[in-house]
Structure 1
Amino acid sequence: MKRTWVLALALATSPAGISAQAEAGAGAATITAGDLRLRIGALAHDSMRGRATPSPELDKAARHIARRFEEFGLQPADGDSYLQEYPLTASRAGTPGRQSIEIDGPDGGTIEGSDILPVPGGRGEVAGPLAIVTPGGADPPDGAVAILRVAPEDTRQGLESVRGLLDGGAVAVLLAVDAPDDYFDGIRRFYERERLSVGMPEELGAPVAFVRTPALPEALRAALASGAGTTAWEARVRTHSEFREERAYNTIGWIEGSDPDLRGEFIVFTAHMDHVGVGRPVDGDSIYNGADDDASGTAAIIELAQAFASLETPPRRSLVFMTVSGEERGLLGSGWYAENPLFPLGATVANLNIDMIGRNWRDTVVAIGADESTLGATLRQTLRDHPELGLATIDDPWPEQNFYFRSDHYSFARKGVPILFFFTGTHEDYHGPNDEPDRILYDKTARITRLIFHLGRRIADADERPEWDPAAYRRVVEGVGRQQGSE
């Protein structure tokens, strides 16, 4: 260990080492508060209308960033394009007037209105004998309308059973929600909002719907409680759901490393360029600008790309700069990249993610994930080497809010890539129209971006790649004992 330290000191104080340090200092100096002010101002301007996924304004942001990458001399990541396109499906439950369940049998009748809620993906009109089923149980008779009782804690399991029931012979599936009205209303609010999913539409090819258990005939409710089997009822089910095919982009550029032995390994810098668009007016303002969330991180990515591109000799490993879309809708863009990477994830040694670094403390940044790998020690050494930044890092002070699972680093972490997530917390303007450029602390944002520059360079030039803490790897990658939240 002592010999290694002496060698590192000798290299740092040699003419070549001093030259490299001076060049790195010059690169960091290109990251300025003034530049960040201009970049955040452009991304979070009212004309960008909150950069919702999908929207023409988000596409405009993606192209704007691509032009910056091209100006800096970055290589396009996807053939000759800086844009990685991915497909989206927008879906929502259909209008209540187009949904009904007619039950023929003892105390039967028609169920409609607020007592029925179609599941997007299922639509059509069919009829058949009603058969009670259980998740993972025997297939229903061919041509039957399958009905299963769903308690609140079993909602996900019930939905996951639908495809198997349809493949097993059911012509429709009813999920009888055995829960208080407010729980059913919560499901309704979820499905009546437009939902985005990655990929092409999943057409279930048959009606699928939630139904309030109290709306069913009393004898049928008793039969549901007693277990599976055929029943004395027949049902005609009619549902409708709406689909729209969309697409969105990630913007990706890269700089090839200078070391022939290490340039096949990659460090990926990420931030999300989308926000939540136009929403409910507050004091007459309906544009949710997203200056901190996450024009601050997106501008930092642009500044980092420029800083590294200014170096005469690139770092030893290759660097990838990525602004993703769809974070606000469920990590869609980074999730697509993780499943369709343009650079091998097995050769991706680190992901440094930046989301909301422009508000709150002037000298402190949260580094989520620092205890999961050797990246934490590298970060601490970088801070010691750069006291001029005037920064300190802290662990996540809000574990109950599950921020770990709510930004794009998680798409990389679950695939086994060591991560650090730089974040300075939410505030009273979070997801509101007052998240405006004039509220950003630009000097602080610049210092955090310079810290990430120095950190990225140190990781890229290190002899060894970062290593996971074994317990963290089991928890994050293998899912042992993991609890996931949602935004």
Structure 2
Amino acid sequence: MRYYNYLYLALIAAFLISCSGNGVDKASQSITEDGIKEYIAVLASDDFQGRFPGTLGEEKTIHYLSEQFSSLGLLPGNGDSYFQEVPLMKITPETDFTLNISGKKGSLTLQYGPDFIGGTPTPTEKVNISGSDVIFVGYGINAPEYQWNDYEGLDVRGKTVVMLVNDPGYATQDSALFTGNAMTYYGRWVYKYEEAARQGAAAAILVHETKAASYPWGVVENSFKGTKFYLTSDPITKSELLLQSWITNDNARKLFQMAGLDFDATTQMAAQRGFKPIEMKLKASASYSNRVEYMSSNNVIALLPGSSRKDEYIIYTAHWDHLGVNPALKGDSIFNGALDNASGTAALLEIAKAFKSLGKVQDRSVLFMSVTCEEQGLLGSHYYAENPIYPLNKTVAVINMDALNIFGRTHDMAISGYGYNELDDYAKAVIESKGRYIVGDSRPESGGYYRSDHFSFAKVGVPSINISFGSDNVEHGKEWAETTLLKWIMDNYHKPSDNYEPETWKFDGMVEDVQVYFELGYKLSTTDHFPNWREGTFYKPIRDAMMK
């Protein structure tokens, strides 16, 4: 094994040496501030109406992207088309309904929006939940590998489950429990709703807590209110789950008080082994109507064929979608999504341009994939991963770009899930060649690894990497960078204020990071090696099976 590691590192070093004479440096320098600015200015303009799936905003976005790919000389990635249709179910609930909780000590009427956000994932035009028993199921997790099952011995069919966000490892900061401070997939809201549906629950209520979720209540309102999309093949659409919802922390405390429970003490108990679900002796009721529609959105895919190994593929991904327009908001009602993710989409185009400027065609083919419905739960990338146009066992790697650096140059770059697969070694070699260094996720408690499109490919076994900007700011240092990022998230994430602001954004760090993405993909496109997952990761057996 030691010999293999030395040989592997020697091969990477050979790639770095070889880059100096084949036009890679020149191609990397073709990635410019002006080029990135031009793309972001268009994608984040009011004219694109927040790039919401199924709207005029989508139509303008996908046609703009296909036109840009075509003008760069890239081929359609799906036969003779740049588009892969993603079949969706669109559910729009009425937004003036209430969630009512009653018990011996009184009742609680929760208003849609300020108190709770919710809807059904099933194609049900009229939802009626009447007197459903409410059960607190802790974190709502069934994880055999962690010897944890909040549903053990419990029948929740037809009942309402109340759950906490994140997982017990984060809550206790116990490194021996789950993965300690780092959120696992079991801490994500999407898992918790899916598990509640598998258990047969009629309703699921997720308690919001800003630190545990890593975003404030305003993000829940803007991200989950109103229309939601689901893949038509998603099992949750065929479940009995009539309501999946978030509730504010203040209202959760009132709910627990009605049940005669101390919120803080009870939630602390839920993070300990041996916790048993609690019948809250409350009833939940809700009645509302939905508009159910079936439609398609589109992934945009462009192909740059390789030469000697053109049947092997490197994929770059960046989601094009955002949150659209909310006419109910006063003032600015357009969610332009400039950082999230016009910036990553612009990088996709700049990297395509860099590959086309190479003096020699790379060995492996490169796919540039701008996916839909990331904001709806990674739906576009999930659909491609389950319905790939190019064989997964010929897909070498996925490099994802989501929300790039607007704060200035950094000495470091961060890898979500650092240590999971061998792509880290390639990234490390590229970054260190520039006098920079790699760090792991600076906020592992936020579950960032599970929140963008690389994860869809990881789930089906394809090695994938999500590299984000670092926190060691060249000009201001680490403390300033971390404080500034957190403030931006609280003030602008999933809000209309995520606007393109060229007068305040700093592009020098973004350009350097995009050059890293390009050079990483180039290194992977010029080797015959297929990077794999590390031993002990969940995804390695999946990859090993497909590669036999």
Judge same fold: TM > 0.5, yes or no.
yes
Report the alpha carbon displacement of residue 475 of structure 1 after superposing the two structures with TM: 6.4
Distance 1:370 1:264, change over 3 A: farther
Report the alpha carbon displacement of residue 83 of structure 1 after superposing the two structures with TM: 1.2
What are the Cα deviations for residues 201-220 of structure 1, in whole angstroms up to 9, with x where unaligned?
A: 9886999579x9xx9xxxxx
The reply to whether residue 274 of structure 1 matches residue 321 of structure 2 is yes
- Aligned with residue 443 of structure 1, among 508, 524, 535: 508
Q: What SS does the aligned partner of 2:310 have?
A: coil
Cα RMSD (Å): 4.9
- Aligned with residue 160 of structure 1, among 183, 194, 198: 198
Q: What SS does the aligned partner of 2:79 have?
A: coil
Report the alpha carbon displacement of residue 289 of structure 1 after superposing the two structures with TM: 2.0
The reply to whether residue 367 of structure 1 matches residue 432 of structure 2 is no
Report the alpha carbon displacement of residue 415 of structure 1 after superposing the two structures with TM: 1.1
For 1:43, the aligned partner's letter is L
Report the alpha carbon displacement of residue 408 of structure 1 after superposing the two structures with TM: 0.6
C-alpha separation in 1, matches of 2:533 and 2:119: 44
Q: Could you tell me which residue of structure 2 aligns to residue 232 of structure 1?
A: none
Report the alpha carbon displacement of residue 369 of structure 1 after superposing the two structures with TM: 3.4
Distance 1:125 1:381, change over 3 A: closer
C-alpha separation in 2, matches of 1:205 and 1:383: 46
Distance 1:298 1:6, change over 3 A: closer
Q: What SS does the aligned partner of 2:54 have?
A: coil
In structure 2, runs of 5+ residues without a counterpart are 101-106, 113-117, 133-150, 165-191, 208-216, 245-254, 259-278, 280-285, 471-484, 543-548
C-alpha separation in 1, matches of 2:241 and 2:519: 56
The reply to whether residue 290 of structure 1 matches residue 328 of structure 2 is no
The reply to whether residue 335 of structure 1 matches residue 373 of structure 2 is no
Q: Could you tell me which residue of structure 1 aligns to residue 494 of structure 2?
A: 431
Q: What SS does the aligned partner of 1:265 have?
A: strand
What are the Cα deviations for residues 168-200 of structure 1, in whole angstroms up to 9, with x where unaligned?
A: xxxxx96699x9xxxxxx9x9898632211127
Q: Could you tell me which residue of structure 2 aligns to residue 452 of structure 1?
A: 517
Report the alpha carbon displacement of residue 307 of structure 1 after superposing the two structures with TM: 1.1
Equivalent positions of 1:455-466 (< 5 A) are: 455-466=520-531
For 2:430, the aligned partner's letter is T
The reply to whether residue 82 of structure 1 matches residue 70 of structure 2 is no
The answer as to whether partners of 1:123 and 1:205 remain within 8 angstroms in 2 is no
Report the alpha carbon displacement of residue 333 of structure 1 after superposing the two structures with TM: 1.0
Report the alpha carbon displacement of residue 21 of structure 1 after superposing the two structures with TM: 2.6
Report the alpha carbon displacement of residue 476 of structure 1 after superposing the two structures with TM: 8.1
Q: What SS does the aligned partner of 1:378 have?
A: helix
Report the alpha carbon displacement of residue 36 of structure 1 after superposing the two structures with TM: 0.9
The answer as to whether partners of 1:268 and 1:319 remain within 8 angstroms in 2 is yes
Distance 1:442 1:3, change over 3 A: closer
- Aligned with residue 298 of structure 2, among 237, 249, 257: 249
C-alpha separation in 2, matches of 1:34 and 1:65: 18
C-alpha separation in 2, matches of 1:11 and 1:286: 48
C-alpha separation in 2, matches of 1:313 and 1:74: 15
The reply to whether residue 379 of structure 1 matches residue 417 of structure 2 is no
The answer as to whether partners of 1:198 and 1:332 remain within 8 angstroms in 2 is yes
Distance 1:200 1:59, change over 3 A: farther
Query: Quick check: which has more Rg, 1 or 2?
Result: 1
The answer as to whether partners of 1:256 and 1:317 remain within 8 angstroms in 2 is yes
Tell me how many residue pairs correspond in the alignment: 424
C-alpha separation in 2, matches of 1:417 and 1:69: 25
The reply to whether residue 199 of structure 1 matches residue 199 of structure 2 is no
The answer as to whether partners of 1:87 and 1:245 remain within 8 angstroms in 2 is yes
C-alpha separation in 2, matches of 1:396 and 1:243: 39
The answer as to whether partners of 2:22 and 2:359 remain within 8 angstroms in 1 is no
Q: What SS does the aligned partner of 2:398 have?
A: strand
Report the alpha carbon displacement of residue 124 of structure 1 after superposing the two structures with TM: 6.1
Q: Could you tell me which residue of structure 2 aligns to residue 485 of structure 1?
A: none
Equivalent positions of 1:111-122 (< 5 A) are: 119=120, 121=122, 122=124
For 2:77, the aligned partner's letter is A
Distance 1:207 1:51, change over 3 A: closer
The answer as to whether partners of 1:368 and 1:404 remain within 8 angstroms in 2 is yes
Q: What SS does the aligned partner of 1:63 have?
A: helix
Distance 1:317 1:279, change over 3 A: same
For 2:528, the aligned partner's letter is D
- Aligned with residue 440 of structure 2, among 392, 395, 402: 395
Q: Could you tell me which residue of structure 1 aligns to residue 532 of structure 2?
A: 467
Deviates more, 1:449-458 or 1:363-372: 363-372
The reply to whether residue 414 of structure 1 matches residue 454 of structure 2 is no
The answer as to whether partners of 2:315 and 2:397 remain within 8 angstroms in 1 is yes
Distance 1:281 1:75, change over 3 A: same
What are the Cα deviations for residues 298-339 of structure 1, in whole angstroms up to 9, with x where unaligned?
A: 111101111112224221111111111111111111111111
Distance 1:80 1:475, change over 3 A: closer
In structure 1, runs of 5+ residues without a counterpart are 101-110, 140-145, 163-172, 180-185, 216-224, 226-236, 479-487
Q: What SS does the aligned partner of 1:263 have?
A: strand
Q: What SS does the aligned partner of 1:196 have?
A: strand
For 2:459, the aligned partner's letter is R
TM-score (norm 2): 0.64
The answer as to whether partners of 1:292 and 1:440 remain within 8 angstroms in 2 is no
Deviates more, 1:444-453 or 1:113-122: 113-122
Distance 1:330 1:6, change over 3 A: closer
Q: What SS does the aligned partner of 1:307 have?
A: helix
Q: Could you tell me which residue of structure 1 aligns to residue 450 of structure 2?
A: 405
Distance 1:249 1:33, change over 3 A: same
Q: What SS does the aligned partner of 1:267 have?
A: strand
Q: What SS does the aligned partner of 2:333 have?
A: strand
For 1:349, the aligned partner's letter is V
For 2:467, the aligned partner's letter is F
Equivalent positions of 1:295-374 (< 5 A) are: 295-363=342-410, 364-374=412-422
The answer as to whether partners of 1:360 and 1:424 remain within 8 angstroms in 2 is no
What are the Cα deviations for residues 89-139 of structure 1, in whole angstroms up to 9, with x where unaligned?
A: 121445778999xxxxxxxxxx9x97999845335699xxx9xxxx999x9
Q: What SS does the aligned partner of 1:254 have?
A: strand
C-alpha separation in 2, matches of 1:21 and 1:403: 37
Report the alpha carbon displacement of residue 287 of structure 1 after superposing the two structures with TM: 2.4
What are the Cα deviations for residues 46-79 of structure 1, in whole angstroms up to 9, with x where unaligned?
A: 2222212332112211111111111122111111
Report the alpha carbon displacement of residue 341 of structure 1 after superposing the two structures with TM: 1.0
Q: What SS does the aligned partner of 1:435 have?
A: coil
Distance 1:281 1:371, change over 3 A: farther
C-alpha separation in 1, matches of 2:21 and 2:414: 26
The reply to whether residue 263 of structure 1 matches residue 301 of structure 2 is no
The answer as to whether partners of 1:93 and 1:120 remain within 8 angstroms in 2 is no
Q: Could you tell me which residue of structure 1 aligns to residue 36 of structure 2?
A: 36
Report the alpha carbon displacement of residue 40 of structure 1 after superposing the two structures with TM: 1.1
Report the alpha carbon displacement of residue 359 of structure 1 after superposing the two structures with TM: 1.8
What are the Cα deviations for residues 237-256 of structure 1, in whole angstroms up to 9, with x where unaligned?
A: 98743212232111111112
Distance 1:34 1:419, change over 3 A: same
C-alpha separation in 2, matches of 1:174 and 1:370: 38
Deviates more, 1:60-69 or 1:439-448: 439-448
The answer as to whether partners of 1:361 and 1:424 remain within 8 angstroms in 2 is no
Report the alpha carbon displacement of residue 455 of structure 1 after superposing the two structures with TM: 1.2
